[in-house]
Amino acid sequence: MVLVVARAVGSHEIDDYSGLARRSPLLGAALACALLSLAGVPPFIGFFGKFMLLGSAFDQAHPELLWLGAVGLVTVVIALYYYLGVVRRVYVFEPRSAEPIACPPRMRVALALAVAALIFGGVAPQFLERSATEVAKQLASAGAR
């Protein structure tokens, strides 16, 4: 979506995303979903990742990692502030141009699938958790050899 917007407006400046939801609702929604997932907002998969990572840092079995969990929480808040600022720009600010941004059909399908994956991974993370746990076990056993 970043490339589509950059090609349409001719630059990569953050101000070019102002009012994106009015110029291209699909691009605006996809960007908002991606940013909210990066920020760790449920129901997106980014929430699951941050929950698992921070949960590990706050595990009672390893109290020496509490400082790492605290740093993680601070960075989550900072990232949330930044990402919500961009989402606000996409939905609240006035666009630089009223001209719609065309989104090719293949890109629409790709964006819809990507957003669906972000949501599915957050709603049903057990599918990814099992796979990730198996990979981690295999890597740990390979490293022990």
Whether the per-residue pLDDT at 32 is higher than 70: the answer is: yes
**Contacts of 55-62 spanning 24+ positions with Cβ under 8 A:** none
Whether the per-residue pLDDT at 145 is higher than 70: the answer is: no
Phi-psi region of 41 (alpha: psi -120 to 50; beta: other; left: phi over 0): beta
Average pLDDT, the chain: 90
DSSP secondary structure string, 127-141? Answer: HHHHHHHHHHHHHHH
Phi-psi region of 19 (alpha: psi -120 to 50; beta: other; left: phi over 0): left
Mean pLDDT of 100-123: 94
Whether the per-residue pLDDT at 97 is higher than 70: the answer is: yes
What's the confidence (pLDDT) of residue 63?
A: 80
What does the DSSP 8-state code read for residue 104? -
Q: Provide the whole-model pTM.
A: 0.84
